[in-house]
Amino acid sequence: MDNVTKAKINLFAVLRNFQELCSMDEVAHNLIKDVKLTVRFVVPEVGSATLAFANGQCKFFTGKKFAGLTLWFVSPEHFNSLIDGEKTIPIFINVFKVGFLLNTFTKLAERLSYYLKPTEELLADEKYFRINTYLTAYTAFFALCEIGNSEFKGRCNASRIPEGEILLTVNDGPSMVIAVDKNHRLSAKIGTTDNPRACMTFGSLQTANDVLSGKSDIFSNLGSGNFAIKGCLPMLDNMSKILSQVGFYLK
């Protein structure tokens, strides 16, 4: 496994879900409702990102940003161990803020894991199922971009994706856009676009959940009418090849 790629996925795909988790889940919202703090994560060979907590909301930012608590990690593996739930202590300066890391952050991470590692019993609850599907989709497609930009096999597949935007939609669910630049670098955003070059549509939240969790595949859903594609097919074909790698990094 490429630990740099895994760390990029953990930082820019998994950790960024705190933003949506705190807006969708009441337990997570209550954990941060009185928190006013910015926390920056700095990982060598990977980059940096910041979580800003204020007014009962969490906002995720990439790149350098002023933070009340900065956490430095000595390697991608060091950061990965934190996200994997191991007892890991990053390097920090502001000891007065470390209580957040040991308490609130840990509880938020546990809550995120609760949604990203479902059981059939949990998925039977409609509210849980909806949040799980949203967070799984966000994680998968942001992770896809990191694999396409960083990992060898992923870069090979990304090099075959023409420039343009891919619109990903779930009927009665989330929408995302994968943008591919002239250098075949991938980026993702939550939302929609007016001029996609290719579109991938899941007919329902159930279809999206089944495909992203590996319970069913795209081709069988194409045949049943629960899944649709249109536009530049080489974009979708090669993007799907990268998507198939996501599960390897998010075990």
Same domain flag for 165 and 217: yes
Residue 225: left (phi > 0), alpha (psi -120 to 50), or beta? left
Is the entire prediction scored with pTM above 0.95?
no
- CATH number of the structural domain spanning residue 102: 3.30.1050.10
Same domain flag for 213 and 156: yes
- Within-domain flag for 40: yes
- Within-domain flag for 92: yes
Helices (DSSP H) in 40-125: which residue ranges?
Answer: 76-83, 98-100, 106-116, 120-123
User: In this predicted structure, what is the pLDDT of residue 93?
Assistant: 64
Contact of 4 with 45, CB cutoff 8 Å: yes
- The residue to which tokens 């990903």 are assigned: 168
Domain's final residue, options 116, 133, 163: 116
User: In this predicted structure, what is the pLDDT of residue 95?
Assistant: 58
Same domain flag for 148 and 227: yes
- Within-domain flag for 196: yes
Same domain flag for 172 and 239: yes
Q: Count structural domains, the chain.
A: 2
User: In this predicted structure, what is the pLDDT of residue 224?
Assistant: 73
Domain's final residue, options 78, 100, 116: 116
- Within-domain flag for 97: yes
Same domain flag for 160 and 234: yes
- Within-domain flag for 160: yes
Contact of 135 with 99, CB cutoff 8 Å: no
Same domain flag for 150 and 234: yes
Same domain flag for 9 and 111: yes
The neighbouring-strand residues paired with 5 are none
User: In this predicted structure, what is the pLDDT of residue 243?
Assistant: 92
pLDDT in tens, the chain (251 residues): 899 999 999 999 999 999 999 999 999 999 999 999 999 999 999 999 999 999 899 999 998 888 888 999 999 999 999 888 777 778 776 655 667 777 888 899 999 999 999 999 999 999 999 999 999 999 999 999 999 999 999 999 999 999 999 999 999 899 999 999 999 999 999 999 999 999 999 999 999 998 888 887 777 777 777 889 999 999 999 999 999 999 899 87
**By residue range, what is the domain housing residue 21?**
3-116
Which residues neighbour 80 within 8 Å (Cβ) at sequence distance 6 or greater? 3, 6, 7, 10
The neighbouring-strand residues paired with 61 are 50
